[in-house]
Amino acid sequence: EERLKGGVTFIVLGASGDLAKKKTFPALFALFQNSFLPRNTTIVGYARTKMDSAAFYSRIEPYLKPKQDDPKKSVQEFLKMCHYVPGQYDDEKCWEDLDRYVSDLETKHSLKDEQKNRIFYMALPPSVFVSVADGLRKHVYSKTASTSIIIEKPFGKDLESCRALLQDIQKLYKEDEVYRIDHYLGKELAKNIMTVRFANMIFCPLWSRVHIDSVQITMKEPFGTEGRGGYFDEFGIIRDVMQNHLLQLMSLVAMERPVGRDAESIRDEKVKVLKCVKPIELKDTLLGQFVKSGDKPGYLDDDTVPKGSLCPTFAAMVLWIDNERWADVPFILKAGKALDNGKVDIRIQFKKLHGSLFEGVARNELVFHVQPGEAIYMKFNNKCPGFSDDSMITELDLTYRTRYKNLKVPEAYEALVLDALRGDHSNFVRNDELIASWKIFTPLLHQIEKEKIKPEPYLYGSRGPKQLNGFVRSYGVERLAHE
């Protein structure tokens, strides 16, 4: 990589935690296996837990998945690049020690000053976030070459706390040094939305209120919040996945055509469309909380959840974009824990056909099946094959598994870490994007908390609250038959 000529030290803060173990190190390993890490890459894990490198290796190794034709050897080679340094998050001396450790490694690789690039990956809880960013800036920020800092949600809890966090970071780092992860932007199908929309003439003229009746973006998870009830209860489903992941998907579906494919052109359009979204109203919202079903515990049965918590684990809400393209088209966002299955999809439902020639046929629907198993398909009316003249709904189907047989779709974190190594901000969240997104959600979140709105109960493993079908139907959505 031209940008990181010489070498790079990738420093993972919070290296003993879950995110680092399950996402960051496996992503780095996958990039290593595919020869995407620049020459002279060194990885340094840093966290409070005292342990030696051997103990650290045995902690991350179970999550490193070598390719089939490449057993074990690559894991050992990768681990040789990894180091572990224990230390505190608020102690100058520890930061100085870390800086010395990294400098020694750079010297070992004979890096000249202008070749010393450092990347900080913050796999940390929000409570220590700013103090670590500060310590790093003061003591580990290399003055001689590039520095990047990769950070993850939560970016605050509402507009005000987000602003404060952005300001704290802005005092320390320049905007182009900061990479704010929303890992949904690293998913293959999220990255594909722009291509499908803007590289296909057939969709360009159809993509508006003239032909589209509704857009539904759904994220279902089949598991509850077992074990992370403490964290979850402070945030709830709306902050956990809707204000960020689902809204990001929505802005990609709804934005105007960017003037270029560079990061600023794309993010300019996302911010513009978000600014047209009206703050969500309570009347356009349905909240739920899962309850015990069989041997599956309810949300409140978890000891780490405060008694009587009103925290929603499910929400459906309708967003309205007040511009020429989308006025009166409902964008329905739905997300829930402990549902009947796990999937993420985007359904763009077209308007009803007019005239009596094919009266009553189903509508067209374009579906981005984000996961599991990437697919794009179009619900489509076809003559029943054979002697019948009836029409039936079927699918024009682009399922990745069958179409691209030997492709291993990269994990979101792999794609994003590679983008950060390349210095490409397109799939990272800009500060004004965050502000615009919190403006849409903050009044609603505050109202829910202030008025203590009670979520509707739903059984663990069900489709959600029983009001859901009626809620969705009331915005004109047609449920299409499956074959």
CB of 465 within 8 A of CB of 296?
A: no
- State the Cα–Cα distance between residues 266 and 425, nearest whole angstrom: 10
**Which residues contact ligand BG6 (rule: CB under 6 A)?**
183, 221, 240-241
At its nearest, how many Å lie between ligand BG6 and the CB of residue 155? 12
At its nearest, how many Å lie between ligand BG6 and the CB of residue 154? 9
Q: Tokens for 131, please give them.
A: 């103090």
Of the two residues 221 and 365, which places its CB atom closer to ligand BG6 in the complex?
A: 221
Of the two residues 106 and 240, which places its CB atom closer to ligand BG6 in the complex?
A: 240
Rg (CA), the chain: 24
Phi then psi for 48, rounded to 5 degrees?
A: -75, -30
Q: Choose the catalytic residue: 183, 245, 369, 425.
A: 245
Phi then psi for 51, rounded to 5 degrees?
A: -165, 160
- State the Cα–Cα distance between residues 93 and 317, nearest whole angstrom: 49
Of the two residues 183 and 347, which places its CB atom closer to ligand BG6 in the complex?
A: 183
Region of 148 please: left (phi>0), alpha (psi -120 to 50) or beta.
Answer: beta
At its nearest, how many Å lie between ligand BG6 and the CB of residue 187? 7
Of the two residues 232 and 326, which places its CB atom closer to ligand BG6 in the complex?
A: 232
Of all residues in the shown chain, the one whose CB is closest to ligand BG6 is 240
CB of 483 within 8 A of CB of 326?
A: no
- Three-state SS at 178: strand
Of the two residues 233 and 269, which places its CB atom closer to ligand BG6 in the complex?
A: 233
Whether the bond between 154 and the residue before it is cis, its omega within 30 degrees of 0, is yes
Of the two residues 19 and 79, which places its CB atom closer to ligand BG6 in the complex?
A: 19
At its nearest, how many Å lie between ligand BG6 and the CB of residue 67? 21
- Three-state SS at 187: coil
Q: Tokens for 143, please give them.
A: 């003055």
Query: Does 425 qualify as catalytic in the annotation?
Result: no
At its nearest, how many Å lie between ligand BG6 and the CB of residue 241? 5
At its nearest, how many Å lie between ligand BG6 and the CB of residue 183? 6
Nearest to 427 by CA among 207, 286, 251, 283: 251
- Sequence-separated (6 or more) residues with CB below 8 Å from residue 167: none
CB of 118 within 8 A of CB of 141?
A: yes
CB of 317 within 8 A of CB of 201?
A: no
Angle at 346 between CA 342 and CA 348, to 5 degrees: 145
- State the Cα–Cα distance between residues 92 and 86, nearest whole angstrom: 14
At its nearest, how many Å lie between ligand BG6 and the CB of residue 400? 16
Dihedral (CA of 269, 271, 276, 278) sign: positive
Nearest to 325 by CA among 431, 242, 251, 241: 251
Of the two residues 241 and 436, which places its CB atom closer to ligand BG6 in the complex?
A: 241
- State the Cα–Cα distance between residues 298 and 206, nearest whole angstrom: 44
Of the two residues 223 and 358, which places its CB atom closer to ligand BG6 in the complex?
A: 223
At its nearest, how many Å lie between ligand BG6 and the CB of residue 231? 8
12 DSSP β-pair partners: 45, 121
Residues taking part in catalysis: 245
